[in-house]
Amino acid sequence: MALHRIVALTAALTLALAGCAGAGSEEASGDAKTHLKYGKAQGPYTVLFEDAIIPILEDQGYTFEVVEMSDLVQNDIALTEKEIDFNVEQHTAYAENFNEKQGGQLAVIGEIPTVPAGLFSGRHDSLDEIVDGMTVAVPNDAANTSRAYALLQKAGWITLDPDADLATVTADDIVENPHNLDLQELVNTTVAASLDDFDYAVITGSIVYNAKIDPSTALLQEDILPHLVLQVAVHEDNKDAKWAKDIVAAYRSDEFKSYLSQHNDGLWWLPESLR
């Protein structure tokens, strides 16, 4: 009889402990979660988050843990595997391409300030200096390649298929290249370092920042289309979490607008939702 009572008590204790563990896990991943991990890649977007957004959210009781990442791909892999909670390093086109190519589960949930891509040159002072056969470097990852070709079309150097989606255009969509430009696709992070090797180059915003290039020296800046606006990205499962919504709200807060009014020297382009 005593043995039966011991077995019963052991079973009850096991169930009770399991119930406590379950409650703790739910709290850690649900709306009550206040300690958040974010992935940091080199670029201005996480720096802006750390300088301006973290103080706003700390006043609401949140704490943060940074996880350094070598690049955005590793950042997004960690987000897909829920090793981190969010990142602020990519636009919609990049996230969608990652989901498609890498089997990701990313959701973009709120616009943030964005640094436009620009057309730069270490050899020429004007777009008017373009002549036949010049070399132009563009980033080779799908999302940024399309924005580069859209920028070259804005410059009047190429014409893209009018039926093609600007979010996904490739070199195959170029229907006119009257200057017979030599368009060379490079790894995005190497374009700035190779600037002097080309007549012109399209350099994306985060690379402009990392290379310490003055954004005002761009000979032409892109028109930022909706799919190129930087976003807060979370795992699909967390897109409706309170903490995720609080991050987005911080970017739209009066405190953040006040910060930008004092610290935007022309680097940041603001979508309508943040103005």
22 within some domain: no
21 within some domain: no
Domain count, the chain: 2
Q: What's the average pLDDT block by block, 10 residues per block, for the chain (275 residues)?
A: 41 40 40 94 92 98 97 96 97 93 97 96 97 97 91 98 93 98 94 96 91 92 92 98 98 97 90 94
23 within some domain: no
101 within some domain: yes
* Domain end among 223, 247, 265: 223
What is the rounded distance in angstroms from the CA atom of residue 178 to the CA atom of residue 184? Answer: 16
Q: Phi, psi at residue 31, to the nearest 5°?
A: -65, -20
**For residue 30, what pLDDT is reported?**
61
Same domain, 75 and 156: no
Same domain, 75 and 161: no
CATH, residue 205: 3.40.190.10
Q: State the SS3 of the chain.
A: CHHHHHHHHHHHHHHHHHHHHHHHHHHHHCCCCCEEEEEECCCHHHHHHHHHHHHHHHCCCCEEEEEECCCHHHHHHHHHCCCCCEEEEEEHHHHHHHHHHHCCCEEEEEECCECCCEEECCCCCCHHHCCCCCEEEEECCHHHHHHHHHHHHHCCCCEECCCCCCCCCCHHHEEECCCCCEEEEECHHHCHHHHHHCCEEEECHHHHHHCCCCHHHCCEECCCCHHHCEEEEEEHHHCCCHHHHHHHHHHCCHHHHHHHHHHCCCCCECCHHHC
Same domain, 187 and 104: no
26 within some domain: no
Beta partners for 9?
Answer: none
Q: Could you tell me if 80 and 90 are in contact, meaning their C-beta atoms sit under 8 angstroms apart? A: no
Same domain, 219 and 132: yes
* Domain end among 180, 204, 223: 223
**For residue 43, what pLDDT is reported?**
84
**For residue 266, what pLDDT is reported?**
80
**For residue 42, what pLDDT is reported?**
80
Same domain, 183 and 242: no
Domain range spanning residue 100? Answer: 34-114+228-274
Same domain, 233 and 105: yes
- Number of residues that this document lists for the chain: 275
Give the tens place of pLDDT for each residue, 68-79.
Answer: 998 899 999 999
17 within some domain: no
Q: Could you tell me if 147 and 210 are in contact, meaning their C-beta atoms sit under 8 angstroms apart? A: no
Same domain, 199 and 246: no
Same domain, 214 and 133: yes
**For residue 2, what pLDDT is reported?**
43
In 3D space, the residue among 86, 139, 83, 132 whose CA is nearest the CA of residue 112 turns out to be: 86
5 within some domain: no
120 within some domain: no
Same domain, 208 and 132: yes
pLDDT over 70, % of the chain: 89
Same domain, 107 and 162: no
